[in-house]
Amino acid sequence: MTATSGGCSAVKDLTINPKPTITGNLTLCADATSQLTGSGTAATTTPWVSATTTNATISNAGLVTAASAGNGTSEITYTDNNGCIAKSTVTVNPIIQPTVTCGTSTATSVTFSWGTVAGATSYDLVYNKDNGGNQTVSGHTSNSYPVSSVPAGKSVTLIVTPKATTGCFKASDIKTCTADNCPSPTITQEPVNASKCSGESASFTVTATSTATLSYKPD
């Protein structure tokens, strides 16, 4: 740069430094980390700053940590040793976890239900019936699952994991549902006592009602 006055001139150098850039993954799930890199040489003091620390923080080395309850964006500022700055926006997506509830139960079955998880294409299931060992179901596509052949009054546990090519998901908490106890039958006609000699046959009549299937046997 040249300045001229009254025929005299002065020359000064003007250095134009390149604008720095930021590279790295800018989309994270809550509780995840991502390493960002700034071009050139970083400033000695506080080269990286996150504007919204409730969504994401960043270390002086450029490591972004998404908050566990993060849901939104934060502007990241990088400053190089020339005082030039670059800005990028980090997006933090919340982790979606299905909530499993107990549905209809009988004396031999239980049904689990959960709400639709946005973005999930299917669900992987792990259930345990009366502590009999884990059973797995892959690629289940509905929002409920019945478990049959459960002993009356016994419990079944279930874990549901959403599946998708992209998204922030985690497995549900373990949910326990219990089969109904066997209903007691109501006897409406008692058998009548009878006395027979050895070798003679005898018949008895008894009438009972129940919501479950009834069977009869002599004591």
Domain assignment of residue 194, yes or no: no
What pLDDT score does 157 carry? 97
Sheet bearing 110-114, strands edge to edge: 100-105, 110-114, 144-147
Residues 104 and 87 in one domain: no
Beta-carbon contacts of 127 under 8 Å, excluding residues fewer than 6 positions away, are 112, 134, 135, 137, 145, 147, 156, 157, 158, 159
Distance between CA atoms of residues 131 and 153, nearest Å: 13
Taking only the tens place, the pLDDT of each residue in 133-179 is: 999 999 999 999 999 999 999 999 999 999 998 889 999 999 999 99
pLDDT (0 to 100) of residue 104:
94
Question: How confident is the model at residue 198, as a pLDDT?
Answer: 73
Asked if residue 131 belongs to a domain, the reply is yes
**What is the model's pLDDT at position 3?**
54
Q: Are residues 84 and 6 in the same domain?
A: yes
Q: In the prediction, which pLDDT does 182 show? A: 78
Pair 74, 124 in one domain: no
205 inside domain = no
CATH number for 137: 2.60.40.10
Say what the pLDDT of residue 11 is: 65
50 and 129 share a domain?
Answer: no
CA 215 and chain centroid, separation: 45
73, 109: one domain: no
CATH code, 55: 2.60.40.1080
- Name the residue among 162, 156, 164, 170 with its Cα closest to residue 143: 162
Same domain, 29 and 58: yes
pLDDT at position 82 is: 95
Q: Are residues 107 and 56 in the same domain?
A: no
Is the pTM for the entire model greater than 0.85? no
Would you state the pLDDT for residue 100?
A: 97
CA atoms of 139 and 98, how far apart (whole Å): 15
Euclidean distance between CA atoms 73 and 48, whole angstroms: 16
Confidence at residue 185, expressed as pLDDT on a 0 to 100 scale = 73
C-alpha Rg value of the chain to the nearest Å = 36
Look up the domain containing 146 and give its range.
100-178
Q: What six digits make up the tokens of 32?
A: 């995840």
Q: Per-residue b/e over 146-169, b at no fewer than 16 CB within 10 Å?
A: ebeebeeeeebbbbbbbbeeebbb
Question: Which domain-ending residue is among 161, 178, 195?
Answer: 178
Segments of the chain with pLDDT less than 70: 1-7, 9-12, 196, 202, 204, 210-216, 218-219
Is residue 133 in a domain? yes
* DSSP percent split of the chain into helix, strand, coil, nearest 5: 0, 45, 55
Residue 11 falls inside a structural domain? yes
